[in-house]
Amino acid sequence: MCVRRSICLIIISLILLFSFIVGSCEKNDENPVVYADPDTTFQNPYPANGSTGFSGIFTFSWDFEYYGNYLYALYLGFSAEELSKHGETWSTEYEIWEALQLDRDYYWQVQATEYGTSNVYKSPVWNFHTAAADEPEDYTIEWTVECANNGFAQNLAQYLNILADGTIAAIAYNYKLTTVSPAGDILYAGDLPLDRGLSDGTMHWGDCVSLRGGNLLVTFPLELEEDGPRNRYSAVLDSYGNVVEEHYSAPRAGARYALQNEHDNEELGDGSFGAVVTMKYDTDFNYKCYVARYDAEGDSLWFRQCKTKEIIPYREGMLAFWNTTYVDTIRYFSLNGDLNWTLVKNLNAYCPYTQVVASGDAAYYIRVNSSEEVACIAEIGEGSLAPELYLLNSTIAGVPTQEIQDFRFLANGNLACRATIDGELSIVELTISGEIVKVIRLQQPTMNLVLFEEYEDGYVLYGTSTFMNLDGTRDSYPEVWRITPVE
């Protein structure tokens, strides 16, 4: 009996001892041991304590006294008392990928946790100051406006228009409209004030925003109405976001099936509109592409089946442009819907970007080669191309150039385009003969430029600025800039 009692006591003692050990481990996990002497344990921090002038993307680094496997957590904040965990690394370096806010004090600390243990070593809290924004050399910033957004990643610049009274109208991908006066005052910022077409809060590639009579024109395809396929909705908005007109119409007279999408809506000289339209033509979700013309109320005047990427108002009608990898096709339709001529351009090599631009009675075909150079600009005749004018090579002013695109005519008769020059977003002005007139390097590393328009003696830019938050997440929001080039 005594032996049994002794065995029971031993077993109970072992259980209590095991429970104490486990409890102690769990307690240590919740409150890990923090070892002191941070000044000797962590040395040579970069950025150094109290340093200044940091901007853009850079790498934090430090030296650690002990060898072994340590998981380092970097904490970042605007004060020493409030630090947020930014991220982790197994090395003594930590790279950030988005720019920090300019002209600001930052505080940072590293905590090293030894692998397989609860041992944690904390560094001192260091601080540094980011650089102030540089004054751009090529332009003056007249003003900057943060546009309406919903705080999500889809705050992408979608449309930029200049209204008749000089108001800038910018629409983000999430149906947020911002209108700005020429002086930079916000006139309206919020949701598009429309009752129809806003089903899920994001703009689709089938939606269209353009100009009508100097105001903003917005069109949407709708679900089929009970009385037939009158599923095209259009609204005209003024500078303050007020709905001036609303129209419901069928995509084409006698159409059996619904409008799927409409894009590249352009106002023609007589107040009517040309558009690229896709319609579902059977119950198996097959679609056909059309060039269409609408009157001011949105009723269809004619449809012509035609594969088209975009339409360009030209003379007494419009050009319909379609491009593939090796073949570009340009068609000219008169206002009454007649196809007057077709021009087919066979490309001998892959071209990442081709475009047609027009102003008044002049139209030009632009081709960008795969080597990221503007290969040619050629004037478009009636079904023919004039001799090609070979323009830019792979450099502008001796600097590597990439992503040349988005050409448009300027009021002075020159062309402007977007380009990436030596890694910097830029606007390049050039003559039709290829002479470089001006290069504006947009020294805004946080801004992803999407759209630009000529505005009085300068430009309006519309893009998305991205900053790194303290916890490592990104904060993106659309912005409008007005700039004036430095002569």
CA neighbor of 345 nearest in space, from 331, 332, 358, 359: 331
Put simply, whether the predicted model's pTM sits higher than 0.85 gets the answer: no
CA dihedral 329, 335, 340, 342 (to 10 degrees): 0
pLDDT score recorded for residue 6:
55
Beta carbons of 240 and 179 less than 8 angstroms apart = yes
> How far is Cα 172 from Cα 195, in angstroms, rounded to an integer?
18
> How far is Cα 349 from Cα 194, in angstroms, rounded to an integer?
46
Beta carbons of 34 and 123 less than 8 angstroms apart = no
* Helix (H/G/I), strand (E/B), else coil: 12: helix
pLDDT digits (tens, 9 = 90+) for 400-436: 566 778 899 999 999 998 887 777 788 989 888 777 8
- Helix (H), strand (E) at residue 320: strand 317-323
Characterise 10 by phi-psi region: left (phi > 0), alpha (psi -120 to 50), beta (else). alpha
Q: What are phi and psi of 91, to 5 degrees?
A: -110, 175
Tell me the DSSP string of 74-122.
EEEEEETTEEEEEEEESSSEEE--SPPPSS-EEEEEEEEEETTS--EEE
Beta carbons of 61 and 48 less than 8 angstroms apart = no
Structure tokens at 177: 């409209």
pLDDT score recorded for residue 24:
38
Q: Give the pairing type, strands 51-54 and 126-130.
A: parallel
CA neighbor of 209 nearest in space, from 150, 263, 285: 263
Characterise 53 by phi-psi region: left (phi > 0), alpha (psi -120 to 50), beta (else). left
Structure tokens at 426: 């830029």
Q: What is the pLDDT along the chain (487 residues), one digit of tens a residue?
A: 444 555 555 554 554 444 444 343 333 344 455 655 666 789 999 999 999 887 766 789 999 988 889 999 999 999 999 898 988 999 999 988 666 777 889 999 999 999 888 889 999 999 999 887 666 778 888 998 988 876 655 557 788 999 999 999 998 877 788 999 999 999 999 888 776 544 444 455 446 778 888 898 888 776 655 445 556 778 889 999 998 888 877 665 555 556 667 777 888 878 888 888 877 665 566 677 889 898 888 888 888 888 888 899 998 899 999 988 788 899 999 999 999 999 998 877 777 788 899 988 889 998 877 665 556 778 898 888 887 765 555 556 555 566 778 899 999 999 998 887 777 788 989 888 777 888 888 866 556 667 899 999 999 999 887 766 777 666 777 889 999 988 7
* Helix (H/G/I), strand (E/B), else coil: 386: coil
What is the distance, to the nearest Å, from the Cα of residue 281 to the centroid of all Cα atoms in its chain? 33
> How far is Cα 388 from Cα 369, in angstroms, rounded to an integer?
14
> How far is Cα 327 from Cα 344, in angstroms, rounded to an integer?
7
CA neighbor of 475 nearest in space, from 161, 152, 49: 152
CA neighbor of 236 nearest in space, from 204, 194, 271: 194
* Helix (H/G/I), strand (E/B), else coil: 255: coil
> How far is Cα 24 from Cα 69, in angstroms, rounded to an integer?
23
Please give the CATH topology (third level) of the domain spanning 34-130. Immunoglobulin-like (2.60.40)
> How far is Cα 105 from Cα 127, in angstroms, rounded to an integer?
7
**HSE on the CB side for 32, CA within 13 Å?**
16
